[in-house]
Structure 1
Amino acid sequence: MADMVTAEAGGSVLAARYVARMAVGDLTPDSGQARVVAALAALEQRIAARRLARKTSALGWLFARREDTVPRVRGLYIHGAVGRGKTMLVDLFYECVAVRKRKRRAHFHEFMADVHARIFQVRADMKTGKIKDGDPIALVAAALYEEAWLLCFDEFHVTDIADAMILGRLFEKLFDLGVVIVATSNVAPQDLYKGGLNRALFLPFIGMIEEHMEVVRIDSPTDYRMEKLGGARIWYVPAAYESMADVDREMDKVWHRIAGIDGGAPATLVSAGRTIPVPRAGGGAARFSFHDLCGVPLGASDYLRLARAYHTLVIDHIPRLDQDRRNEAKRFITLIDELYEKGVKLVASAEAEPETLYTGTEGAEAFEWARTVSRLHEMRSEEYIARPHGRGDSEASGDTTGLVET
């Protein structure tokens, strides 16, 4: 398998790192992933050639902002079932590709939330005369291009008619400017916005994707999410071990199974204009202490941001909560509600089982805790672990909070 990846991907940094991770046992040989690695490695090299063409052009300094002076690069649309490693591979590509500044990695829903906010602001500025009349979508596309000419999206799906109506015009402008797009999705392009209102108006956008992006299906037979979490302990308590130090060691083992041998890296999320530090993120998962999430003034919109950004959360050291810590209990209840609704997987260490974790008897939290206990138990089931991320019990909402920045 390593030879196949190396042979197909030449001198790619991404391919070399993928092979290295297989060599140390961090990744399992997978023919479906190997095909996607080869496609991403080829894109990596096309992007490198484009950057070289810009640098070596005799008039490169003069045409530095003119994309017609360098070769256009087709992006990549990767689709396949959940848990096959799509996010991990695009994360690896994003880390390895020879673009240092003008690149952006975002959850697709959050990218569209940002686009809607920008369009709203441009229209407001036009009304006040701050900006001359024009096409708001074209102006937003130009601003996005100035910030990044390589866009990497996770969980590309369309359920909102407002998004559907904007996408064609927006992406046409982005592609015309020379923006390169890499996206992951659970569905093929032909199935985007399937059954949506006025879908016929959306079909030209599908053709645009197929023209400007190579479409690759990941045919991996293994659901790695189930392999990593299926059958594993999800809720760790000291009573099952000799000490809390033993619990911490077990949590570290689970985290490395999810995030990789290197344990990921710090990251940030932006929610409603403020930054949420993420102590460790990797493999589409994030790790926090209980205090990081519930000991600080975060709210439902912040927890929704987390739920959309990560398919798994690992939370350390959930304490017993009494009446004096009802604010923390309330935040934890809200956090679990958002994770549950979006199908986020949870691994946690706590001082006790859910039933006895909260001892308060007054206020709404005392009544709401019963729902939290029920959800925590369901989130430990294989049926829950097999649920897709991002939709939970219902279709993704039209929430427009924040923007993922990693």
Structure 2
Amino acid sequence: MDLNAQYQRALHNKHFEPDPAQLSALKYFQALSTRLQQPVRKSWTTQLRKKFGRHQATQRGLYLWGDVGRGKTWLMDMFFDTLPLDKKLRLHFRHFMLEIHDELTQLAGHRDPLLIVARHFAQRARILCLDEFYVEDITDAMILHRLLDALYIQGIALVFTSNLAPAELYKNGLQRERFLPAIKLIETNADVIRLDGNTDHRLRKLKQTHTWFSPLNTASERAIEQRFNDLAAGTVLVDTPLQINHRQITCLRRADGIAWFHFYQLCHGPRASADYIELARRFHTILISGVPGMGENEEEWTHRFVDMIDEFYDRRVKLLITADNEPIYLYHGRRHSFDFQRAISRLMEMRSNDYLSQAHRP
């Protein structure tokens, strides 16, 4: 189906009005789709580019940025799903970087391992869509210029979604001057599009379902316990440790495809994004008890909580929570206020019938 027709059908099904900024961005996606469907011509200039490392992509990509809830991921996924290519990849940026670091470990000792990694991606995809492009780790920042350069040399078109303009990426990060060439590379090889507007489309979804219980009291715990009992099937394991990436996480209860944790077990201690990715792979439904209010003294908890919500949202995990308050009132610090706005928007969407009706993406 044509991309614009798919967009109009989605609006009709959800009873939404067209968004002018989305329609404008859609034209860029449609143009890229058309270009990618043209026959690939392996000219001598293409071969020279790959041999000598010219910094211009075969296909100009897109960099779509804007506030939370504006529909960036939705538009990219619609583009990806309607693109009639076999060689295409869509990854959350965090998953992408984990894959990169894993392969670099395997290629230790090789000359120019990032070029080898890029060649491997070129065997799998002519276009790579990266959702939630956000750089905060210095290890990622230091290799991104060379990595993106290698991908572009291989002729891979890149599509990014982000909450930040390219020039704002890794702002105030350590050794940022070494990251600046990556920004220049993106701006050179992608149309940078801002998705303007004040509407958070996640908040106008269908009616909310009762999956969030606050405040933290006996009634909330009884309610979430009843939800677990309603959802669990087969054998139920109680207070058993779960092995995740060589670390144990105590699980209050778990059954086939469903697990119930205390917030402390998930967001306190040595937890990493890879842990949340693995949990999202194993369980289609996760219940969390005891989510507290968070502020300046709980910044590490906050950081992990936001990471966790990102992963669960991306994999369409069904989430039930008991918390101190509604999402909008949970965080009262400053350091993570920008990221927590994204978490709030996603938590609200994750309570909707529309989200809950979507299939798990293990």
TM-score range, shorter chain: 0.5 to 0.7
Q: Which residue of 1 aligns with 2:4?
A: 15
Matches within 5 A, 1:134-149: 134-149=111-126
Alignment counterpart, residue 156 of structure 2, candidates 171, 179, 196? 179
- Superposition deviation, residue 229 in structure 1: 8.2
Kept after mapping to 1: 8 A contact 2:245/2:275: no
How has the CA–CA distance of structure 1 residues 198 and 381 changed in structure 2, closer, same or farther, with 3 Å as cutoff? closer
Distance 1:185 1:85 in 2: 11
1:32 equivalent in alignment to 2:21: yes
* Residue from 182, 189, 205 that aligns with 1:205: 182
Are the aligned partners of 1:14 and 1:41 in contact in 2 as well (CA < 8 Å)? Answer: yes
Alignment partner of 1:382 is 2:343: no
Instruction: Work out whether residues 74 and 212 of structure 1, in 8 Å CA contact, stay in contact via their aligned partners in 2.
Output: yes
**1-side partners of 2:62 and 2:114: how far apart?**
23
Secondary structure, in 3 states, of the residue corresponding to 1:387?
helix
Q: 1:207 to 1:188 in 2, by over 3 A?
A: same
Q: Distance in 2 between matches of 1:83 and 1:214?
A: 21
Query: How far is the alpha carbon of 1:26 from its aligned partner?
Result: 4.9
C-alpha deviation, 1:110, in angstroms: 1.6
1:309-320 equivalent positions in 2, closer than 5 A: 315=285
Contact in 2 for aligned 1:343/1:389 (Cα 8 Å): no
* CA–CA distance in structure 2, aligned partners of residues 183 and 91 of structure 1: 11
Runs of 4+ in 1 over 2 A off after TM superposition: 23-28, 65-69, 225-237, 298-303, 306-309, 313-316, 332-349, 380-387
Q: Which runs of 5+ in 1 are unaligned?
A: 1-11, 55-59, 127-132, 249-270, 274-288, 319-331, 355-372, 393-404
Residues 244-281 of structure 1, C-alpha deviations (whole Å, 9 max, x = no match) = 9xx99xxxxxxxxxxxxxxxxxxxxxx969xxxxxxxx
Mark the structure with the bigger radius of gyration. 1
- How large is the RMSD of aligned CA atoms in angstroms? 4.4
Instruction: List gaps (5 residues or longer) in structure 2.
Output: 51-56, 214-219, 232-243, 247-253, 293-300, 332-339, 347-360
User: 1:33, CA displacement in angstroms?
Assistant: 1.0
- Alpha-carbon distance in structure 1 between the residues aligned to 2:280 and 2:284: 15
Residue 389 of structure 1 aligns to a residue in which SS? helix
8 Å CA contact 2:64, 2:192 repeated in 1: yes
- 1:160 equivalent in structure 2: 137
Which residue, out of 168, 171, 176, partners 1:191?
168
Letter in 2 for 1:199: R
8 Å CA contact 1:230, 1:382 repeated in 2: no
Q: Does 1:170 align with 2:157?
A: no
Cα pair 1:308 1:342 within 8 Å, conserved: no
Q: 1:204 to 1:29 in 2, by over 3 A?
A: same
**Residue identity opposite 1:96 in structure 2:** T
The 2-side partners of 1:96 and 1:229 are apart by: 24
TM-score, normalised via structure 1 length: 0.57
Gap change, CA 1:74 and 1:230, over 3 Å in 2: same
Q: Distance in 2 between matches of 1:157 and 1:48?
A: 29
Q: Distance in 2 between matches of 1:87 and 1:179?
A: 20
Structure 1 residues 387 and 303, CA gap change in structure 2 (3 angstroms): farther
Q: Are the structure 2 counterparts of residues 343 and 388 from structure 1 closer, same or farther at C-alpha, using a change threshold of 3 Å?
A: farther
**Which secondary structure does the structure 1 equivalent of 2:342 belong to?**
coil
Give CA-to-partner distance per residue, 1:168-215, whole Å, 9 cap, x none: 111111101100000100000000111111111211111110111110
In the other structure, the counterpart of 1:150 is 127
Deviates more, 1:209-218 or 1:26-35: 26-35
For 2:132 and 2:76, how far apart are their aligned partners in 1? 11
Quick one: distance in 2 between partners of 1:84 and 1:179? 26
| Alpha carbons 1:33, 1:220 under 8 Å: kept | no
Match of 1:4 in 2: none
Output the CA distance in 1 between the equivalents of 2:280 and 2:145.
24
- Aligned counterparts of 1:144 and 1:137: Cα–Cα separation in 2: 11
User: CA–CA distance in 2 between the matches of 1:170 and 1:207?
Assistant: 13
Q: What is aligned with 1:75? A: 61
Provide the C-alpha distance between the structure 2 equivalents of 1:272 and 1:292, rounded to a whole number of angstroms. Answer: 18
Q: Hey, what does 1:111 align to over in structure 2?
A: 96
Separation in 2, partners of 1:224, 1:166: 34
Match of 1:94, SS state, is: helix
Range with greater deviation from structure 2 (171-180 or 25-34): 25-34
SS in 2 for 1:219: coil
Q: Which amino acid aligns with 1:113?
A: L
Kept in 1: contact 2:257–2:285 (CA 8 A) = no
1:222 maps to which residue? 199
Tell me if structure 2 keeps the 8 A contact 1:150–1:181: yes
Against the structure 1 CA distance between its residues 119 and 18, is the aligned structure 2 distance closer, same or farther, given a 3 Å change threshold? Answer: same
One-letter amino acid of the structure 1 residue matched with residue 343 of structure 2: H
Match of 2:70 in 1: 84
**Separation (CA, whole Å) in 2 of partners of 1:229 and 1:16:** 22
